[in-house]
Amino acid sequence: MENTKLRRRVLATATATVAVGALALAGLTGVASAGPPTATTPAVSADSLSPGLLAAMERDLGLDADAAKSRIAAEYRAAAVAAGLEKSLGTSFAGARVSGNKADLTVSTTDASEAALITKAGARAEIVGHSLDRLEAVKDALDKAALSKAPKNVPVWYVDVEANRVVVNAASTSAAEAFVKAAGAGDKLVTVARSTEQPRALADIRGGDAYYMGGGGRCSVGFSVTRGGTQNGFVTAGHCGRAGTTTNGVNQQAQGTFQGSTFPGRDYAWVATNANWVPKPLVNGYGRGDVTVSGSTPSVVGASVCRSGSTTGWHCGTVQQLNTSVTYPEGTISGVTRTSVCAEPGDSGGSYISGSQAQGVTSGGSGNCRTGGTTYFQPLLPALQAYGLTLVTSGGGNPTTPPTTPPPTDQPGGTWAAGTTYAVGATVTYGGATYRCLQGHTAQAGWTPAAVPALWQRV
């Protein structure tokens, strides 16, 4: 099983450079020196937020255009501060979340002596009893048990950073207790919650556009990508097709072929397209203007997020939990993000975006867009890493080829440094080799150039 701590670092620290400058705080090596966000922090550019996205946020979140722009800017800043604090706090870090329309940031720690550091960085400090590492170890035990036998009547489990507990949602208390016992996870850190959720993969089969699988069915495009500098394509949900499955585009013309697909376990795939399809850094706004993708900064718990899909168009909500596990009829999916956004069959694979920052692709959920529901998305960065892909962005320049030779042994030395923000094209040395940055991000321990070909190319 994928290492939980590394997986969390992927989601929390591979932050992309935001063209509007709202993540300037993340460029500082020390969190304490960053200070709280101020009124002079650059706001979100109006050009980076489509009318369609703003309209969906007003409909689903009750925010007018000015309030939506202010909230997204605050969420960008919160994500940067949270990523830096996670690095500084280390094993005492217990999670981060935002709340309210002003996206006020709360960072939890098990060490009361670190409250001053958190406060100085511009966040509210919360002292809790259990670190995020400890809670995720419990969740890992549940994930391992589900791999061997998916639990019946236990659809979802996740780490709830606000409650500082692992939450198991189940149709019956006895089913949840049996699952926890079989996993050997113990019940001291677990809360069982009754739930009527019946999640399923949403395959009925530009981001958000429809495509059609050769064997039948429809899904939605996630985000445009390239591989090797010459091959164009897009990421989507793994349950939409298997390697070798052919696709037709929204115009019903021949489009491409699935090159890689993972489902269950995770839910990501990528399709290589033919020369007739040109990758654009856009997400379909469904009549209200397309959204331009400028990066891939992951959002924190509580942040606003919107989804584009070929069945229901634009819908918005908030991030509820990261690193969630959910059981579909086909098996258990781990590492997805739980949201309050609705979706319906055919939306699968479509784009999740916060402001102009790509978040992931629609996986599955329960409910619908008439009565509301819960939807899960597969985070984007693990998919890029798995297949050596580069996200197409408005400011990314020409993507370059990922390394095809084995990376050098992971060893210290060189100019690469955790805590530094790298822009596209920046070069560093590490382990005796030179690397060029493929996607803007804030570096942290574990995300060395040799280990992450989605972010670095060896030159």
Model confidence over 150-193: pLDDT tens digits?
Answer: 788 899 999 999 999 999 999 888 999 999 998 988 778 999 99
**Dist CA 302 CA 100 (whole Å):** 8
Mutual angle of helices 65-89 and 4-13, in 10-degree steps: 140
> What is the value of pTM for the model shown?
0.71
What does residue 130 show for φ and ψ, rounded to 5 degrees?
Answer: -135, 135
Average pLDDT over residues 17-34: 28
* Residues 6 or more apart in contact with residue 237 via CB below 8 angstroms: 201, 202, 203, 219, 222, 263, 267, 268, 269, 348, 349, 361, 362, 363, 378
**What is the DSSP track for 346-393?**
T-TT-EEEETTEEEEEEEEEEEETTTEEEEEEEEHHHHHHHHT-EE--
Mean pLDDT of the region 124-133: 96
What pLDDT score does 377 carry? 98
Q: What does the mean pLDDT of the chain come to?
A: 82
Structure confidence by residue, pLDDT tens digits, 397-415 = 333 333 333 333 334 568 8
Cα distance between residue 161 and residue 93, in whole Å:
11
> Does 8 score more than 70 pLDDT?
no
Q: What pLDDT score does 285 carry? A: 81
Q: Residue 446: left if φ>0, alpha if ψ -120 to 50, beta else—which one?
A: left
The catalytic residues are 239, 267, 348
Please compute the mean of the pLDDT values over residues 430-441 and round it to a whole number. Answer: 78
**Rounded-to-integer distance, Cα 258 and Cα 269, Å:** 7
